[in-house]
């Protein structure tokens, strides 16, 4: 879906669901600087999100040495820092974000400042880093919409964003490659399952402990692109 259509359908959904929402339990207060935040600072990571990826890695061994990985929605770049530790010097990483990502000292990390939904202009930029016509072994995405506080609306937007990431993987992920998605899990969750099943052999849902208590986000690991 083009971005303008995405925005349009998002608004439409917001309107149609306006009267249908139920009263929800008040979540725990939001603490921006929680234990994971301090841990990340202490360990030299750029964001607390790294611990979500770390848990996923420790459970599923998604990243292996020598892999070529693309990380979308990548700034400030903690996923990239962690991935680099595993792929070491032989694999390569490309990060894409709207915001510039501060440089890494390693030469096997490249970053692109771009909107991942402007696919036509992004494609040639990514292609510069798809070495020898290869695609990526793994794509990781930490994508999430700007939240409104309305679970139904936020989840719908999250599904739409992830459908765009799936389209990105159609082009840039190798056959048999894996894809990590972040999704807000609520009533429309089933809408993302069909598009995943069409493209991948199987998938696993996982909610790392590092996800905030009040958050209804979880990750989906899509295994073996068809």
Ligand X SMILES: C[S@@+](CC[C@H](N)C(=O)[O-])C[C@H]1O[C@@H](n2cnc3c(N)ncnc32)[C@H](O)[C@@H]1O
Return the range that interacts with ligand X (CB under 6 A); candidates 22-30, 43-51, 61-69, 128-136: 43-51
Q: Report how far residue 200's alpha carbon sits from residue 138's, in angstroms, rounded to the nearest whole number.
A: 13
Match 């993987």 to its residue by tokens: 169
Question: Does the footprint of ligand X cover residue 116 (CB under 6 A)?
Answer: yes
Return the range that interacts with ligand X (CB under 6 A); candidates 27-35, 67-75, 85-93, 167-175: 67-75
Question: Does the footprint of ligand X cover residue 171 (CB under 6 A)?
Answer: no
Residues 140-169 that bind ligand X (CB under 6 A): 142
Catalytic-labelled residue, pool 84, 182, 185, 225: 182
Q: Report how far residue 178's alpha carbon sits from residue 136's, in angstroms, rounded to the nearest whole number.
A: 9
Q: Report how far residue 158's alpha carbon sits from residue 192's, in angstroms, rounded to the nearest whole number.
A: 9
Question: Does the footprint of ligand X cover residue 59 (CB under 6 A)?
Answer: no
Residues 117-136 that bind ligand X (CB under 6 A): 117
Match 């490309």 to its residue by tokens: 94
Q: 185 catalytic, yes or no?
A: no
> Which residues are within 8 A (CB) of 158 and not within 5 positions of it... i.e. 6 or more apart?
143, 144, 145, 182, 183, 184, 217
Q: Report how far residue 15's alpha carbon sits from residue 9's, in angstroms, rounded to the nearest whole number.
A: 10
Structure letter (DSSP) for residue 44: T
Return the range that interacts with ligand X (CB under 6 A); candidates 4-12, 13-21, 47-55, 194-202: 47-55
Residues labelled catalytic: 182
Q: Which residues bind ligand X (CB under 6 A)?
A: 46-47, 49-50, 73-79, 96-99, 115-117, 142
């Amino acid at each position: 879906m083009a971005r303008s259509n995405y925005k349009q359908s998002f608004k439409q959904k917001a309107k149609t669901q306006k009267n249908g929402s139920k009263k929800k339990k008040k979540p725990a207060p939001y603490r921006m600087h929680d234990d994971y935040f301090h841990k990340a600072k202490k360990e030299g990571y750029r964001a607390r999100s790294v611990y979500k990826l770390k848990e996923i890695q420790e459970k599923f061994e998604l990243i292996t040495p020598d892999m070529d990985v693309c990380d979308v929605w990548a700034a400030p770049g903690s996923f990239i820092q962690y991935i680099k530790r595993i792929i070491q010097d032989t694999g390569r990483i490309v990060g894409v974000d709207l915001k510039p990502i501060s440089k890494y000292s390693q030469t096997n990390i490249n970053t692109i400042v771009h909107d991942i939904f402007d696919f036509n202009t992004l494609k040639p930029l990514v292609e510069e880093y798809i070495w020898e016509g290869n695609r990526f072994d793994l794509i990781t995405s930490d994508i999430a919409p700007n939240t409104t506080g309305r679970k139904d609306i936020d989840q719908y937007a999250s599904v739409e964003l992830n459908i765009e990431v799936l389209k990105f993987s159609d082009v840039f992920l190798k056959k048999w490659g894996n894809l990590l998605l972040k999704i807000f899990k609520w009533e429309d969750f089933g809408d993302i399952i069909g598009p995943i099943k069409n493209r991948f052999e199987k998938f696993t849902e996982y909610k790392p402990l590092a996800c905030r208590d009040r958050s209804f986000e979880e990750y989906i690991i899509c295994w073996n692109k068809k």
